[in-house]
């Protein structure tokens, strides 16, 4: 009898144990789903292969688990299965809203297994209006999850675009909450620069113009980078303007000349869909200092200088102001003769001492590198007061802006090098 009871108890425990095991397994695998994907091997740096479906090799992404409560974070884990093998991923990160459209949420995700670079994660309510690799596979009002992965230490690129994950990721709730999300970085919305170099980069100098009736002048330069992104061609542009305005004649022996250096316009556009963003990968001032130099014609002096900025980060700094003393009637040039310097805050007037026989006729303002200007709301401003000393006649205030331009999308070319805008403002000195 004891043997029978022992056997019954053992059988019951085994049955309970098996039942518990099956239940736990069901819990782990309830989110599991296998999504068809495409893989491109030996992806070229110009993106030409990605524009032709003949280069796509069938693969799959086996998602074993995912977490999202509709808030601003997401996690996915699983495997990528290609014809060459299988690799795990465990992706986690935050979600942000695309600034140029309310139809796109993007993720800044990292693979904790360190097998893949997450080139792009997007949840797209206008999959054909925004950038897509499987264009027209879905209706333009479908919600599509897009995941692009680059296997580390290779050029093996796997991507999926699917409408099968919306319920599991609570995408409707994400869009309902997206108004409180942070704005996405340009590189998270426009992913191509993470894997491709531009097919073309160019600089176009606009005409330097002066309007006598407005007593102002400007010099524009436009920087362009063109990329392939699947069947789309993407164009990123920034037009930089250097500007000066001032009096046509000094009043009471002096006059204020106002200068400004800023991105006049910034854009990213596509020849496919309706992408039109007022951001780009172009940046001013990342790799080297940005400077403004000024010097007067013989017989005039610089009495004071003041700088300011509409860019809040820059406006909190103290900038270096340098100057040099010169004999009043000698010729000058840019780049030499700065023997004194001082750091001054925005909106602080630096008044020069011109009481001696040598006068302050040259000055230089310097923004330290890494203080980047990238949007039209970012400007570097100054007011230079010029005074008459001797020799009444028509004279010029000579200005030179120098900055380095770079594109954060272009991993293959850190910077295009130094750029300059030279302006000579003519006025009547008396």
Question: Model confidence over 272-281: pLDDT tens digits?
Answer: 999 999 999 9
The angle at the Cα of 126, spanning 407 to 65, to the nearest 5 degrees, equals 85
pLDDT at 14: 40
**156-185: b or e for each residue (b if 16 or more CB lie within 10 Å)?**
bbbbbbbeebbebbbbeebbebbeebeebe
Higher pLDDT, 361 or 315: 361
Mean pLDDT taken over the chain: 90
Stated as kind and residue range, the H or E segment containing 80 is strand 73-82
| Averaged pLDDT for residues 331-341 | 93
Q: CA-CA distances (angstroms) from residue 64 to 27, 28, 34, 75, 163?
A: 11, 8, 8, 11, 17
| Averaged pLDDT for residues 16-44 | 67
pLDDT at 313: 75
- Judged against a pLDDT cut of 50, whether residue 254 lies above it is answered with yes
pLDDT at 3: 43
- Judged against a pLDDT cut of 80, whether residue 34 lies above it is answered with yes
Q: CA-CA distances (angstroms) from residue 172 to 71, 127, 131, 215?
A: 11, 15, 20, 55
3-state secondary structure of 49: helix
pLDDT tens, position by position, 171-194: 999 999 999 999 999 999 999 999
pLDDT tens, position by position, 40-78: 999 999 999 999 999 999 999 999 999 987 789 999 999
Give the span between the Cα atoms of 319 and 322, in whole angstroms: 10
pLDDT at 2: 44
47 Cβ contact list (under 8 Å, min separation 6): 192, 195, 196, 199, 227, 228, 229, 230
Give the span between the Cα atoms of 301 and 295, in whole angstroms: 8
Return the minimum-mean-pLDDT range out of 109-113, 250-254, 354-358, 380-384. 250-254
The pTM of this model reads: 0.87
Higher pLDDT, 77 or 9: 77
| Averaged pLDDT for residues 114-129 | 98
């Amino acid at each position: 009898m004891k043997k029978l009871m022992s056997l019954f108890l053992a059988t019951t425990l085994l049955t309970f144990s098996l039942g518990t095991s099956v239940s736990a397994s069901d819990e782990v695998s309830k989110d599991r789903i296998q999504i068809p994907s495409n893989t491109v091997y030996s992806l070229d740096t110009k993106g030409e292969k990605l524009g032709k479906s003949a280069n796509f090799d069938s693969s799959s992404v086996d998602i074993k688990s995912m977490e999202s409560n509709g808030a601003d974070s997401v996690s996915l884990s699983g495997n990528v299965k290609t014809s060459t093998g299988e690799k795990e991923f465990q992706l986690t990160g935050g979600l942000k809203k695309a600034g140029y459209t309310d139809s796109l949420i993007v993720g800044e995700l990292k693979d904790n297994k360190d097998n893949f670079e997450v080139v792009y994660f997007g949840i797209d309510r206008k999959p054909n209006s925004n950038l897509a690799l499987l264009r027209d596979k879905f209706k333009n009002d479908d919600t599509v999850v897009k995941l692009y992965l680059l296997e580390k230490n290779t050029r093996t690129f796997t991507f999926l675009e699917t409408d099968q994950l919306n319920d599991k990721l609570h995408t409707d709730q994400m869009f309902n909450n997206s108004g409180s999300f942070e704005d996405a970085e340009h590189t998270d919305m426009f992913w191509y620069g993470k894997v491709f170099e531009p097919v073309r980069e160019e600089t176009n100098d606009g005409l330097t113009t002066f309007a006598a009736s407005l007593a102002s002048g400007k010099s524009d330069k436009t920087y362009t980078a063109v990329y392939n992104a699947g069947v789309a061609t993407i164009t990123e542009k920034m037009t930089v303007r250097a500007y000066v305005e001032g009096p046509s004649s000094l009043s009471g022996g002096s006059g204020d000349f106002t200068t400004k250096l800023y991105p006049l316009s910034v854009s990213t556009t596509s020849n496919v869909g309706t992408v039109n963003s007022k951001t780009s990968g172009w940046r001013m001032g990342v790799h080297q200092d940005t400077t403004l130099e000024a010097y007067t014609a013989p017989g005039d002096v610089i009495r004071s200088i003041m700088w300011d900025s509409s860019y809040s980060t820059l406006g909190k700094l103290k900038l270096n102001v340098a100057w040099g003393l010169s004999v009043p009637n000698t010729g000058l040039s840019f780049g030499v003769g700065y023997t004194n310097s001082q750091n001054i805050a925005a909106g602080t007037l630096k008044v020069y001492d011109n009481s001696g026989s040598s006068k302050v006729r040259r000055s230089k303002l310097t923004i330290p590198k890494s203080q980047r200007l990238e949007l039209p709301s970012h400007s570097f401003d100054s007011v230079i007061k010029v005074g008459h000393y001797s020799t009444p006649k028509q004279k010029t205030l000579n200005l030179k802006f120098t900055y380095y331009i770079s594109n954060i999308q272009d991993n293959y070319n850190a910077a295009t090098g130094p750029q300059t805008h030279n302006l000579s403002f003519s006025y009547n000195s008396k």
